Amino acid sequence: MNSKEVTKKVIKKEELFILDVRNQNDFKDWKIEGEKFEYLNIPYFELLDGVEGILNQLPKDKEILVVCAKEGSSVMVAEMLSEYGVSVSYLQGGMKAWSEYLEPIKVGDLKNGGELYQFVRIGKGCLSYMLVSNGEAAIIDATRMTDMYIDFARDINAKVVHVFDTHLHADHISGGRKIAELTGASYWLPQKMRRK
């Protein structure tokens, strides 16, 4: 299962059982959250000798997703569970992919034509925006995952002409300058952020 599919489950408030095989501290610090998600956290090193001991803790009637940091451990655990007939999948790219995924959501139509999209970095809670009008796009507070914005603009037949960073970002690394370089767009910064 990829991050886009998990995001859809969060948005649609669907059920999902997550077996998180990262260490307990990482799980306590940060996990995939959904209103109808259930969790079991058992570090993968406790499962190296087999998964028999946790089979009775897994639901028989719910979709099960195994999650780890980068994917490798979750593949191993999912394969072991599958050998016992458990219907299971793993998160492609692990929590690293989850932390970088952006979901574009249309949040409004402009009065005189055009749309406003919010790019939700659901794994980290960051928001960025794309304003589209007359085939042109302006991107506001982009993250470093620049391909998502450029690909999305191309898919909706919009040319990126402006990129804005509204403040110094404490929650992410800006991709604004890179997007401007790749697209030829004007790059706008607040006065305090401009180089002298």
Residues 69 and 90 placed together within one structural domain of the fold: yes
Structure tokens at 122: 């659901």
Residues 109 and 136 placed together within one structural domain of the fold: yes
- The DSSP bridge pattern shows strands 88-90 and 64-67 to be parallel
Residues 152 and 75 placed together within one structural domain of the fold: no
Gap between the Cα atoms of 192 and 195, Å rounded: 8
**Residue among 131, 129, 130, 128 nearest 110 (CA):** 131
Our answer to whether residue 68 is catalytic in this structure is yes
The amino acid present at 121, given as its one-letter code, is R
Tell me the whole-structure pTM to 2 decimals: 0.84
Residues 87 and 116 placed together within one structural domain of the fold: no
Sheet holding 64-67, edge to edge: 37-41, 16-20, 64-67, 88-90
pLDDT tens digits for 153-167?
999 999 999 999 987
Residues 91 and 113 placed together within one structural domain of the fold: no
Residue 16, helix vs strand vs coil: strand
pLDDT tens digits for 36-72?
999 999 999 999 999 999 999 999 999 999 999 999 9
| Residue range(s) defining the domain that contains residue 10 | 3-98
Structure tokens at 188: 């706008």
Of 51, 65, 67, 68, catalytic = 68
Residues 86 and 112 placed together within one structural domain of the fold: no
Residues 20 and 40 placed together within one structural domain of the fold: yes
Residues 18 and 58 placed together within one structural domain of the fold: yes
pLDDT tens digits for 123-150?
887 899 999 999 999 999 999 999 999 9
> Taking 70 as the threshold, does the pLDDT of residue 75 lie above it?
yes
